Amino acid sequence: MKTNVVPFGPVNIGGSKFAVIAGPCSIESEDQLLSTAKFVKESGASILRGGVYKLRTSPKSFQGLGKSAFDLVRLVKQETNMPFISEVTDPRQISDLYDLVEVFQVGSRNMHNYELLKELGKTDKPILLKRGLAGLVKEWLLAADYITEQGNEKVVLCERGIRTFETVTRNTFDINAIAHVKQFTNFPVIADPSHGTGVKELIAPISMAAVAAGCDGLILEVHPNPSEAKSDGHQALKFDEFEKIMTDLKKLLPVFDKTI
């Protein structure tokens, strides 16, 4: 089916251009975000990611800087001129985040949060809707309908792996889901091999597989010093590892009539 084109700020998702969204799992400091943003931009990423509000399994884990990150995000956006995506974890955050982000991310844990989806459907910002950790593709598509029913058609799906019996990877990246979305729906789809594998050595090969399956872009976690990351350090790419993926993507994408 024909894929919708959804603008993430100045970057179109779903056309012949392939989009790379990159940045840290959580925003930790100005230095961390700025150095990462500059590097990923130079390597060809067009959208910056960074968690401000984090949904963590343990309440004792770092929960994100919240509002105290807003000023530094503004500064980094100004310096790099990159559109910014961040997760909205609660409808009460929508109005505050509205002026900060070009794209609202709905995290895996909130795919079934229908009140959040309905509220986002009343906004005019694009939404990146992650698949729930145990979400059927059918349920994921119905979750997207909760947003579009309210009038916001700017929905992009994100496959980020599902929980299965397998334990060598954090999640099982469902390549079938990407092919399914492309064949049978109009939604663009972004692949998240960072959460999809949770193993940084597997991110490069699964990124290439996702391109071959037809994804419209990738979202990748990058950190200047993964061993000190406050979340998801085990799956964060170092700068040189990210750069190598970008080099490989630039070789692979033309096979599928796409460019970065």
State yes or no: residue 130 binds ligand PEP (CB under 6 A): yes
Q: How far is the CB of 78 from Mn ion (least distance, A)?
A: 25
State yes or no: residue 51 binds ligand PEP (CB under 6 A): yes
Residue in 6, 19, 22, 25 binding ligand PEP, rule: CB under 6 A: 25
160 binds, among ligand PEP, Mn ion, none (CB under 5 to 8 A by kind): ligand PEP
Q: In the bound complex, which residue of the shown chain has the CB atom lying closest to ligand PEP? A: 107
Nearer to ligand PEP, 130 or 180 (CB): 130
Q: Are 237 and 201 in contact (CB under 8 A)?
A: no
- CA-nearest of 83, 84, 105 to 94 is 105
Nearer to ligand PEP, 53 or 258 (CB): 53
* C-alpha Rg value of the chain to the nearest Å: 17
Q: Are 129 and 140 in contact (CB under 8 A)?
A: yes
Using alpha carbons only, what angle is made at residue 172 by residues 36 and 165, rounded to the nearest 5 degrees?
A: 140
Q: Which stretch binds ligand PEP (CB under 6 A): 101-109, 183-191, 202-210, 246-254?
A: 101-109
235 binds, among Mn ion, ligand PEP, none (CB under 5 to 8 A by kind): none
Nearer to ligand PEP, 160 or 200 (CB): 160
In whole angstroms, what is the distance from residue 76 CA to residue 135 CA? 34
Q: Are 215 and 173 in contact (CB under 8 A)?
A: no
In 137-224, DSSP assigns E strands to 155-159, 189-191, 217-221
Stretch 139-178: interaction string toward ligand PEP, x if CB under 6 A: ---------------------x------------------
In whole angstroms, what is the distance from residue 111 CA to residue 177 CA? 15
Helix (H) or strand (E) holding 220: strand 217-221
State yes or no: residue 223 binds ligand PEP (CB under 6 A): no
State yes or no: residue 132 binds ligand PEP (CB under 6 A): no
In whole angstroms, what is the distance from residue 21 CA to residue 8 CA? 10
Q: Which residues bind ligand PEP (CB under 6 A)?
A: 25, 51, 107-109, 130, 160, 195
